[in-house]
Structure 1
Amino acid sequence: MDIHTNVTEQAHATSEAICVENLVKHYGTMLALDDFNLHVHQGEIFGLLGPNGSGKTTAINCILALLSHESGTVSVLGRPMTPTSYDLKRKIGMIPQNVAVFNELTVRENINFFCSLFIPKNKDRKQLVDDAIAFVGLQEFSSYRPGKLSGGLLRRLNIACGIVHKPELILFDEPTVAVDPQSRNAILEGIQHLRDEGATILYTSHYMEEIEQICTRIMIMDHGRQIAQGTANQLKDMIDMGERITVETLDLDAQTLNTMQALPFVTQADFDGKELKIACRHGNRNLADILDILHTSGTNFGHLSSQPPTLNDVFLELTGKALRD
């Protein structure tokens, strides 16, 4: 029984790229991580969300053993992570939010330098550097220095430097900040391609649509601990907010508006003379009931739309709308 249990536990552990259990970290008297838990499966893109000061960066630094912690455990790729786990760290790639390249070196020289931190022999690096340049689409810019690159190209260089050694686990910290839509799309497609090639991705961003687009599972954390986790749809089901219904109309009378506002699933209904906007709780007949009232009252209306809750709605409901530093 003990042998079977150990084999089962080992198989479970190795199926997780990141396993964080009950992590506690203080900065002086401030509790930064409060029994924090995180489990990222191998081969998935896992989204980590949280407002400023929620503990995301501290958690990532503890996972990489760049910060010490008071209690709890961290395992990466099935093995305990320590500050001296150099062979394990070679299997990890980190793309920081702030671009970290050398302005004196060309694109190729930058990528080659970061590759040399993991692959000592120059002959072994050449193909890896060529592959990384091609992966981020910087072939025609390989002789440029970073100062000549646009913001989007600079972000792509930053990514190439972090993935050139073909890591098994890659941590992206807001890689699309201040880039144009074309570059953002190229970066997101590249991240999905890395996953398809076998890498595991931990992805942080304040762009909720990105998280919803590429992430298999998502965690929202605040005050140093998990407050919600699941797929995007599972997270949306956790909040009270349902669909938003918008109706274009010019002749909605006060009595019909009052009838709308009195519906048990309606949390708010406003009419500005041109549009009726209704916020609803979850329900299967919300739109049908709204249409019934409009038809019964004889209200003429044009375009009608129904918008389901977004991940941004989930984030704001769970973490609050107060500004964070």
Structure 2
Amino acid sequence: MASPADSVAATRAVPRDPPHGPAVDAFLRSALDEDVRDGDVTTEAAVAPEARASARLVAKAPGVIAGVGLFRRVFELLAPEVEFGRFLEDGTHVAEGDLVGTFTGSARALLTGERTALNLLQRLSGIATLTRRYVEAAAGGARILDTRKTTPGLRLLEKYAVRCGGGENHRIGLFDEAMIKDNHLDASGSSIAELVAKLRERHGGMRITVEARDEAEARAAVQAGADVVLLDNLPDEELTRLTPILRESAAQRGSPVELEASGGIDLSRIPSTARTGVDRISIGALTHSAPALDLSLAVEMLPGGGSDPLG
């Protein structure tokens, strides 16, 4: 996969700059090799090399599309001469039966690449669709962010899908933002203030988030100068009570702080959590539990193409 340096920014709500380039091509080739290996034995037996076909990509359920560029690139890698018609853009909401796009090319390439291309598009569109539901439920009361709970090897693609759904990206990995968790405190024997100071000394202006399990830790994080205080597994009543207290503490210190709610927050709870006054809500389910969006690819042979090469 692409390196962090040539990927997406840590926080971005508008779909743009989908992952692309040599690293993504290498990933797609690996995905194709996983499926094709030494050849698509059935297609090569049934379809002549010169045969051509057209394909229609259709939504079988309502949702948000994400990953069109990757879908198309799979077929370009198999058959550079493939011709694409009009495709919907990433971030577009579709209804059941909507046409997502059309293309023509080598019948063998269309049949061979179908599953790999659909798997990626359905996975990313599922993430975008679920994210859109969370964003709409928050109704502007708080921003919706993802987490690092992504499929290994697919993080940049899945985080891009979150943006397509209207969400924002949390840190990309362990390198671009510091997050002090209870395990760090327990393992180091240090206080929140000591760890924040050490991180400032080592990494300057890097954003620092502190995970707080209770009011005492949240207050300590604010006083230590954390950029973000992550209020972990707290009920909405406690979030509502703590939010003005922590903002007042930050104002007295003269350093703004973002308040984030996380842990145990499902879709049904989003409206009430968004009204507690927190700035953002991080949701692991956006990437680890999103169901695939139902899409289908109908392939039709074009006149003049051959078939049954062994006949």
TM-score (norm 2): 0.30
| Larger RCO (alpha carbons 8 Å, 6+ apart) | 2
For the pair shown, the structure with the greater C-alpha radius of gyration is 1
User: Is the strand fraction higher in 1 or 2?
Assistant: 1
User: Is the helix fraction higher in 1 or 2?
Assistant: 2
